[in-house]
Structure formats: structure tokens, C-alpha cells
Amino acid sequence: MKSTTIKRIAASMLAGMLVLSSFTIALAGSLAGSVGDKRFPPTLSLDPKQPCTKAYNAYVAANGHSAYATTFYSRVVDLYIICGSKLNAPSQKAAEDVAMQSCMAGLKRLKVRTASGGCAIAASK
């Protein structure tokens, strides 16, 4: 009689730990679907096929540390938006650095100047 009682207690304790651990894992979760630390709202095209819209949507869907950098948009002066992103980097800082480098490289490659002066991190996680 004692062994069956001990087995039932052990089984209920294990079940309780399993429920608790699954709850803890759910809280940790991934970063997928999260906008993260949004510093300013990026200007995006309504066309989902545009490169910067694709890059931002990929950033939001990424499950690791990621960043999205873009130029500020001025309707009066700038007629374009240049962006850069880094998905699933080892850290948030590394993602921000690569996204900024990518955006600045786009400015340099296209040989354009913006009214705002360059790129900035719009969001990172």
C-alpha cells in the first residue's frame, strides 16, 4: 500500500513540474511576430512587394535578435526610402550594427543624399 501511494505522489509531482516547465517555456518564447523596441514608425509602402516593406515584414517575423534601419522620410524633399536589416543575429547590438551598415551602404551605392542626413534604427529586438 505504501508503494502505490508513493508512486501516485511521485506521478502527481512530475505532472505538476511538467505543467510548470511548459508554462515557463511559453513565457520565454521566441521573438517572432514581435516588433521589439520601436524607436520611430518606419514609413512603408502599401505594396508588399517593395523591398523595404519585405525587409520590415521579415524583421517582424524573425525569431532571433534582429534590427531594421531606414532613412527618415520627408514628403517635401525625399522621394525614396532606403533601408537595411539584419535577421537572427547573435545579439541585439550586432543586429543593429549590421542593419545600419546595410542602410548606409545603400545610400552610398545609390549615391543619394537625404534631407535627414542618413539612416537610423527604426526597430530592434
- Regarding pTM above 0.75, the answer is no
**Same domain as 60, residue 3:** no
Cα separation, 124 vs 70, in Å, equals 12
Q: In whole angstroms, what is the distance from residue 94 CA to residue 41 CA? A: 21
Query: Do residues 77 and 21 both lie within one domain?
Result: no
Query: Which pLDDT tens digit goes with each residue over 34-50?
Result: 888 899 988 888 888 99
pLDDT category at 111 given cuts 50, 70, 90 is confident
Q: Cell numbers at residue 43, please?
A: 514609413
pLDDT-derived band at 31, boundaries 50, 70, 90: confident
Q: What is the C-alpha separation between 5 and 3, in angstroms, rounded?
A: 5
* Residue 111 and residue 57 share a domain: yes
**77 and 18 assigned to the same domain:** no
- Same domain for 106 and 51: yes
Regarding whether 76 and 15 lie in a shared domain, the answer is: no
Does residue 5 sit in the same domain as residue 41? Answer: no
Residues 119 and 60 in one domain: yes
Residues 47 and 106 in one domain: yes
21 and 50 co-located in one domain: no
pLDDT, mean of residues 72-94: 83
Q: Assess whether pLDDT exceeds 50 at residue 10.
A: yes
Residue 4's domain comprises: 1-30
Both 23 and 43 in a single domain?
Answer: no
